[in-house]
Each structure stands twice: as structure tokens, then as C-alpha cells.
Amino acid sequence: MWSRAIFVLLCLTSSIAPAASFDCSKTKRKIEKRICADVAVSQLDDQAAQIYAKAFAGASLHHQQELIAERAKFRRERGRYDASASALADDYQRWLGYLAHPQRSRLGSYQGRDDAYVRLLSVQSATGAHLMAQGAGVRGEGGWVSAAPFTINGDTVEIALRRASFPNQPDCPVTLAFEGEHLRFNAQGSCAVEAISGVFRKTIPNLPIWVMPKGSVPPP
């Protein structure tokens, strides 16, 4: 009788126990204790860890290093401004959105010559996950943004750019072509952004020094 009651109790306990990706009984970090204190957040943490591991296993070396950097940033910033369960859940949902983005490996910043850069940002809408582009011209010739969200099928996409400081100017047609970790940016005709046409290389943001084996990441 007692053994059956204990068995049932153990089953009930295990069904509501947190499923965090770390051992809740051993953690001493405040943020991890808050994660363990909420079943839903704990399950999100475990889900994120599994999706991250799958994404990492299928990524190129360069993208693996980028994933490490993005994960370190997420872990550093989760609950930074609001450690409530709802806020933590929102932080995890954003992280999961990044991991699940169909163009995840192309999100981020690309550096060109001088001060020119291209940045591809994630955009979530009712119709799915899209991209937005923004950038700056050589030697401060002006910033721009893509006129509308876009998706990429294959390695090339045609988009329209708009000068951020001159929204009434005509949109500028541009071709973005992806070649491995490089982005070829070709402005059409005599656009105001023509000065930044060229090849841009994907950069890795804030890569923690402890995850950089010597020679593992080519310089940007």
C-alpha cells in the first residue's frame, strides 16, 4: 500500500519537475534558480538547448562560432532587465525565434571596405520570418534601409533600398548575392548608395575569448 502511494507520488513529482538543460539541484546562479522555479521557463530552457545543439551540429565552422557568440550574448542578457517568469519566457521565445529562423546563418553584420557595412535583421510577421537590411555608405556617405521585408530563395535576392535620411527619394534596386560567408552587394544604375557596392564579409559579434581555439576562425 505504502509502496504504491510512494510510486504514485514520485510519478506526479517527476511530471511537474523542471526540465531545464542544467541540474537545478546544483545550480547557485540566481538567474538559473529563477528558471528552475518556473516549469514553463524550465521547459523553454531545455527546448532551446536541444534546438541549439541540433543547429550547432549542422553548421559550418564560421557559423558555429557565431552561434556560440549569440548564445553567450543571450545567456548574458536573459532576465537582465526583468527576471520575472513572463519576461524570461519572452527572452527565450526571442532566442528560439532566432534559432528557428530559416535564414539564421545569414542574419548579422557584414563588413566591407572603409566604414561600409551591411546588416541583415530578423523580422517576424503573421506571414512568417523575413529579413530587413540596413547599412551605411563609405566614409559616412549616409545610411539606408530596405524598403520592405524580403525572403531569400537560393543565394540571390533582388531588393529595394531607401535612404534613411531622404525617404522621398526613389527606391534603389539592389542585388544581394551570397557566396559562403561573403555577401556581394550590387546597386543598380546611379543610385545614391552605389558607393557601397562591393563584397562584404560576415563578422562574428563579441566572440568570447574562451571559445576561440587558435586559428579556428578566419579574420574578418
Grid cell of 84 as nine digits = 520575472
Q: Which pLDDT score, from 0 to 100, does residue 99 have?
A: 94
Three-state DSSP class for residue 103: coil
Paired strand residues for 186: 175
State the pLDDT confidence band at 172, using cuts at 50, 70 and 90: confident
Per the document, the length of the chain is 220
Three-state DSSP class for residue 79: coil
Q: Is the pLDDT of residue 78 over 50?
A: yes
Q: Is the pLDDT of residue 193 over 80?
A: no
State the pLDDT confidence band at 22, using cuts at 50, 70 and 90: confident
Element (H, E) at 201: strand 198-202
Cα dist from 194 to 141, 170, 188, whole Å: 10, 14, 7
CA gap 151, 120 in Å, rounded: 11
Q: Which pLDDT score, from 0 to 100, does residue 210 have?
A: 52
Of 60-64, 165-169, 178-182, 210-214, the one with minimum mean pLDDT is: 210-214
CB 64 within 8 A of CB 72: no
Q: Which pLDDT score, from 0 to 100, does residue 4 have?
A: 47
CB 143 within 8 A of CB 137: yes
- As to burial, measured by CB atoms within 10 angstroms (0-12 exposed, 13-18 middle, 19+ buried), residue 203 is middle
Q: Is the pLDDT of residue 81 over 60?
A: yes
Cβ neighbours around 33 below 10 Å, total: 12
Q: Is the pLDDT of residue 46 over 90?
A: yes
State the pLDDT confidence band at 139, using cuts at 50, 70 and 90: low
Q: Is the pLDDT of residue 9 over 80?
A: no
**Residue 38: partners with Cβ closer than 8 Å, 6 or more residues away:** 18, 85, 88, 89
